[in-house]
Chain A
Amino acid sequence: MSMVIDAPRIVTTKPLLVVRGVSKTYGKVVALHDVAVTAYPGEVLGIVGESGSGKSTLLRMMNLEETPEFGSYTLDLPDLRGNLFNLDRFARRMLCATRIGIVYQNPHLGLLMTHSSSGNVAERLLIAGERSFATLRAKATDALDASEFPLDRLDAPPIELSGGMQQRVQLAKAIALEPALLLLDEPTTGLDVSVQALVLDTLKRLQQGRQITMVVVSHDLGVIRTLADRVMVMRSGRVVEEGLVDQIFQDPQHAYTQQLVHAKL
């Protein structure tokens, strides 16, 4: 009797997200140089690096907010072919609204601060064409519930909410349309440690429940260690090291990564 071993999933699964050869300069400053990113379905990819290493620029590009000078970006989704950087404004907007969710470090970037929280979530659904008030209300409530937002504050404007709650509204907005890709830009920076832990908990549960592919950008190694499966280390616009989280954190190879891991208090 012979035993058949399936090939590991990483060999058989096609990556969801492929970014290749992305370069971007702002004047003389090189923000990104020949960066490649690959993320597989259901995986959490962490990107770490110091301030100014280009990690946020990379994330904004994955959300199609910026276009690089060189490089390509593909998402393995039905009816989506070719380099996404070449999409027109209209197609970009639809793609960003329906297939990609983003949580910014600064909630002011992602939320309408004086509209109601449920309205902020409903906006996504409205862009996608939902026109029934009852459905909007129900779906917005569901999404806020899934991101563990207290439902008695459903219609409070984000400006009246605490930082942790604002992040939850952003998260609910991002997952309202069940996106294929969730981008998190320093989702817990600026929150105190206990709230940080609660938000990370929510993210972890969401990821396990829904199998969303996530890309988490953070300078906090703790956040990456808690959430990510794989990690990319960036410095001055380049990827210096890439690998499984345990591998990178236990046995860093690159001098900068060693420094980064040891610098952790």
Chain B
Amino acid sequence: MVATILLTIGFSAVLAFLIGVALAFFNQKFKVERDPKIDEVRGALPGANCGACGFPGCDGYAEAVATGRAPTSKCSVGGSATAETLAKIMGIEGGIPEDKVAVLLCQGAIDKTVAKGTYNGIPTCRAAKLSTGSVKTCSWSCQGFGDCTNVCKFDALAMGEDGLPHVNYENCTGCGLCVEECPQKILTLVPRSRVGSIVLCSNRSTVKANVIKTCKVGCIKCELCVKSCPEGAITMVNGIPVTDYAKCTSCGICVQKCPTKCYKMLEIDVFGAKKEVPVMQEAQA
């Protein structure tokens, strides 16, 4: 009995010791020379292994950064602090990510637009877009089924009672998932620090009457903004006025002049909008 116990302990200990020594030996013998930068970069990453960077975990991203295959700005969890550290380790400049947020380029709320009819199909934007072209008479408008809110991982998007998704700019990380998901491609990423005016309309129709008929807050291509801008910062691109933010001084003249109120001030009307988002009561189950 005692002999068996002793033998058990002895044998297990000897085997474990032998294996331990063998492992240690082989670890040294088969050591692969690794770029020490990989470990350094890995140490600077948050270690959340979320995969938001598009690499298989922090290890994969660290290797990609260290070998120069990936920019230092991909880690959205670590944000600019991590990106700065990574850029320092790699000895490169300008690796700091722009803190971006999603902006919806449409103000076509239910009461501002005209529906084509009653849509009874699959309640997703993509299905509605595929089957009807657009549930509203404006082909560029938000479909309002909340595909974007469903993909948001940060609880930053919610459908409002007006039938449009509202971005909570405290939560938005600028990951771009909603931008990818939107079948209308009317969500866009804008740097959080950007100031100036922006057109919250995506209607590319060049026929003024069409826009007026379909939407109360659509850009009617009157080009008053282009003419009135004292800095000459606004140009029409593909039927939509585009602001040159290098010239824009946030004077607000275009916002005042715009007859359909589709020109908005980013820092006031978009980012500065009230934080409380009117959430629809009948959220889809």
Partners in one complex: no
Interface residues of B (CB under 8 A from A): none
Seen from chain A, the residues whose Cβ lies within 8 Å of a Cβ on chain B are none
